[in-house]
Structure 1
Amino acid sequence: MVTGDGAYIKRINRSIILEKIIEHGMISRAELSKITGLNKATISVQVADLLEEELIKETQLEHYNVGRRPIMLSINNKAAYVLGIDLDYEQIHYTVADLQGHAVVSLTEKIQTVDYDEIVQLLVKQIKKYQKKLSDSRYGLVIVMIGVHGTVNRDESIYFNPKYRWHNKILKTDLMKKLDLDIYIENNANLSAYAESVYHYHNNNNLVNIILTSGIGAGIMTDGEIQRGYHGYAGEMGHMIVSFGGLSCSCGNKGCWEQYASEPSIINHLSANLNKPNLTRDEVLRLLQQGNETAVERIEESIPYISAGLNNVINLYNPETIVINSRILSTIPNAVTKLESYLNSSVSQYCQIVLSDLGDRACVDGACALAIQRFFDVQRLNLTKSNRTNLQTT
């Protein structure tokens, strides 16, 4: 028989109650007791503690029936704030979110350095600004979650960041030396997958999120948990080989998937076709919107290669949902139907393939969501998107 002391049981009950309050938005004590199976006395004690801590609040609903007006419980979204950071190449995206996942402030900071120490200083400076700005709330800024475009070890050190050419950097330790805050480091694809799960696909227990925007990376969600693998590098699907002896890849192999299906490879090939060096993604998007035949043909040519990789992913993970994050692919009419036309194997089974509508914000949204989950110490998190305010670019 598994047993636990009173403090452990109390913590588990607290987590269950908070999870249901977050999920329902507003809920009564009676309904909490009904859906959790906890008795009314346990609910009463836990709710009293959460009210005293100002993590939840009460609202008395108006109604016109005879009898007592129901008192509803909801998260006190202004009790604390989290900061999600997407440490992208040449720019850093910051979003402060309240405890319901609503973006309060978003900032994109353009940077012109790859020097590790300089970027650490930029991060420290901006984080301290947010700490000061949010200090009037009950708990202030409680967690910073940073998404890194590269391989992240299980101890949260950065094994390799290909764009910055960083090897074995201990960003978490270096930041915590200068900041009195809980700081976490996570792979950007994992955070993007978490965002899809938390904000859109609440009932999907097996989700794979594939990002085509900078190489190819993937986040894998199983039973609401991020799958990281032994070292923490699970999801580097861009480096599975789809063409033996094919195009050379920076990883040292030939024929890697991202050499044929990622946005950078598509853009590079299109630049060569059009004899326009250094095409940007925004320029490619404009060409597609204008119906440029060469641009459209180049994207169409990539679809069989994207599907080849998807076939491998499906057979490896048997996912319920595959989410593809690519602004370029999203411009192609009936893109999903075209992808599925190449998935003819009777062995490959999945429920749906969808295109992400989170776009470039997936990583930072996932960072905020995972920070909220860590703060509340709940098993699962269901949030809804809202309009963002105070968007800034520097």
Structure 2
Amino acid sequence: MKIKKINAERMGYSNKLMVFNLIRYSPGISRNEITKLTGLDKSTVTKITYELISRGLVEEGERKSSKSPGRKPIRLEAAKGIAASIIVKVGVEKTIVGLGFLNNFIEKIVEFETPKNFNTFIDKLTFEVDNIYKNSNGHNIVGISFSFPGMIDRKNLIIEYVPHFNWSDIKLKDVFLKELPYWDKPILAANEAKLALQSEIYFNEEISNLNNGVYIFVSQGIGGAILIDGKIHLGSNYTAGEFGHMSIQESGEKCFCNNQGCWETFASIDTITKIYEYSNGKLKGATYEEKFKNLLEKSEKRSTNSYEIMNQMLYYLAVGTVNLINILNPEFVIIGGYGYLFPDKYLKQIEHTIRERALKPSLKSLGKIVKSSFDIETACLTGANLRVMDEFAEKAVI
């Protein structure tokens, strides 16, 4: 195979982007650590970091603690104020709008109940976005990024299908610009589970050296994302990873998607809370999120039959995960979304069932079954912000 030579200008750009991204993804990293990780010589790293600092993209922090003699290394971090994104997490029950920054800081600004009618939703959303943009004077806003609980065509910015609302074939960019015609920044949109996995790839140390895995997003449905050879697998139409619509019982309950016996009809949080309320009366809370948290509390105290109902959820989560492990042979499985709330013993229970039922050869490479390192909101908002900032970083270091 012939290897193309990279000209000096392009090589310099690649090195700058590599160093800049290391600082972004590893706040507090030192120049010496960058040298070891990249293989670049110290003088090159010093030159690049000096340039990034002089351009306001990177800031020096306090000196790091070190057991080695001599001066302690200086912490490097991405500057917060130079760039911000407006980030939107559209949920089945509520929508959150906030700001994300170059240093990965997330600020939640407003939340509202998600209207099921899309026109009502876009009116409310653009009103809030307009307020945020004007209050920030728009001077450092470099894009807007959406997280949706459904199938999104990232390239053409089309909402293909959001099952819980029956939103389909909506040209997001067109309707957004119709309401906010002054908007001239990038518009990005993606599925919530894929954004959550993107957050884990960058910041979850437990999977830092792993390249193949599965992310299971437990919410009012069950979403998912797949990591293959270090990249999130999107599929030809960006719909890969819709685990929740895998049938685990051929003649089971009809799902929002019109299939029957879908995984999410057995193990989503709304399914489990409905099962509890059918036998025991109302749970505390106005939303399924609040009710599920109440059910978890009851389960911990073994109140009424809450523990048995939670066991049923954990069992079905394990059964569906076994299918994914047998098909995909991952190195890790992350239980995210509201699975973030599970106590460790619940995760161990899921893992026990998985290791009993999955194909033994598929388990050889499966090292980790872990919880998400982010709660459901922060996972999606962080992933949404990363997409904007990754794009900003490529342009900023030229």
TM-score, length of structure 2 as denominator length: 0.82
For residues 342 and 66 of structure 1, the distance between their equivalents in structure 2, rounded to whole angstroms, comes to: 50
> Is 2:176 the counterpart of 1:142?
no
Give the secondary-structure state (helix, strand or coil) at the position aligned to 1:89. coil
Q: What corresponds to 1:187 in structure 2?
A: 191
Measure how far apart 1:239 and its partner are: 1.2
Matches within 5 A, 1:1-394: 1-26=3-28, 32-33=34-35, 35-39=37-41, 42-43=44-45, 46-58=48-60, 73-103=76-106, 105-111=107-113, 113-135=115-137, 140-155=140-155, 156-176=157-177, 178=180, 179-201=183-205, 202-274=208-280, 276=282, 280-290=288-298, 291-325=302-336, 327=338, 330-331=341-342, 334-343=345-354, 344=356, 345-349=359-363, 350-361=366-377, 362-377=379-394
Deviation of the 1:2 alpha carbon: 0.9
Stretch deviating more after TM superposition (156-165 or 173-182): 173-182
Describe the superposition over 1:98-122 as per-residue Cα deviations: whole angstroms up to 9, x where unpaired: 211122x313422363332332233
2:89/2:148 contact within 8 Å kept:
yes
Question: Are the equivalent residues in 1 in contact too, given 2:340–2:375 (CA < 8 A)?
Answer: no
Which letter maps to 2:196? S
Answer with 44-53 or 368-377: which moved more: 44-53
Distance change >3 Å, CA 310–CA 42, structure 1 → 2: same
How far, CA to CA, are the matches of 1:33 and 1:154 in structure 2?
Answer: 35
Q: 2:161–2:167: 8 Å Cα contact kept in structure 1?
A: yes
Displacement after TM superposition at 1:150 (Å): 0.7
Between the aligned partners of 2:70 and 2:292, the Cα distance in structure 1 is 63
Deviation at 1:332, TM superposition (A): 5.9
Quote the Cα distance in structure 2 between the aligned partners of 1:67 and 1:321: 40
Residues 360 and 60 of structure 1: is their aligned pair in 2 closer, same or farther, counting only changes over 3 Å? closer
Change over 3 Å in CA distance of 1:15–1:248 after alignment to 2: same
The SS at the match of 1:324 is strand
Amino acid at match of 1:293: T
Classify 1:88/1:34 alpha carbon distance in 2 versus 1 (closer, same or farther; 3 Å).
closer
Separation (CA, whole Å) in 2 of partners of 1:237 and 1:72: 41
Q: SS in structure 1 opposite 2:265?
A: helix
Q: Does the Cα contact within 8 Å between 1:263 and 1:328 map onto a contact in 2?
A: no
Contact kept, 8 Å, 1:148 with 1:188, in 2: the verdict is yes
The structural deviation recorded for 1:50 is 2.4
Separation in 2, partners of 1:32, 1:333 = 34
- The CA deviation string for residues 232-273 of structure 1, in whole angstroms up to 9 with x for no partner, is 000101111212222322323322211112212212222222
Distance 1:73 1:257, change over 3 A: closer
Q: What is the CA–CA distance in structure 2 between the aligned matches of 1:99 and 1:62, rounded to whole Å? A: 21
| Greater mean deviation of Cα atoms: 185-194 or 105-114 | 105-114
2:31/2:73 contact within 8 Å kept:
no
Deviations 1:329-382 (CA, angstroms, capped at 9, x unpaired): 84567212222232223233111212235233121222123322232239xxxx
Higher relative contact order, structure no. (Cα contacts within 8 Å, ≥ 6 residues apart): 1
Query: What stretches of structure 1 of length at least 5 have no aligned partner?
Result: 379-394
Change beyond 3 A, Cα 1:330–1:45:
closer
CA contact (8 A) 2:163 2:257 kept: no
CA contact (8 A) 1:191 1:363 kept: yes
Give unmatched runs, 5+ long, in structure 2: none
Deviation at 1:318, TM superposition (A): 1.9
Q: Structure 2 counterpart of 1:231, which letter?
A: N
- Aligned AA for 1:305? Y
Give the match's secondary structure for 2:322: helix
User: Displacement of 1:324 after TM fit?
Assistant: 1.1
Deviation readout 1:114-161 (Å, 9 max, x if unpaired): 33233223332322333333348xx60112210011111242311011
CA contact (8 A) 1:176 1:183 kept: no
How many residues are treated as equivalent by the alignment? 374
Q: Mean Cα displacement is larger for which, 326-335 or 188-197?
A: 326-335
For 1:245 and 1:90, locate their aligned partners in 2 and report how far apart those are by CA, in whole Å. Answer: 28
The one-character-per-residue Cα deviations of 1:29-51 (angstroms, maximum 9, x if unpaired) are: 56645543335665465445423
- The answer to which structure has the higher helix fraction is 2
SS across alignment from 1:298: helix
The verdict on how the C-alpha distance between 1:266 and 1:70 changes in structure 2, with shifts beyond 3 A counting, is closer
**Identity of counterpart residues, as a percentage?**
25
Question: Secondary structure at the residue paired with 2:305?
Answer: helix
Question: Equivalents in 2 of 1:256, 1:62: separation in Å?
Answer: 51
What is the rounded CA distance, in whole Å, between the counterparts of 2:58 and 2:343 in structure 1? 45
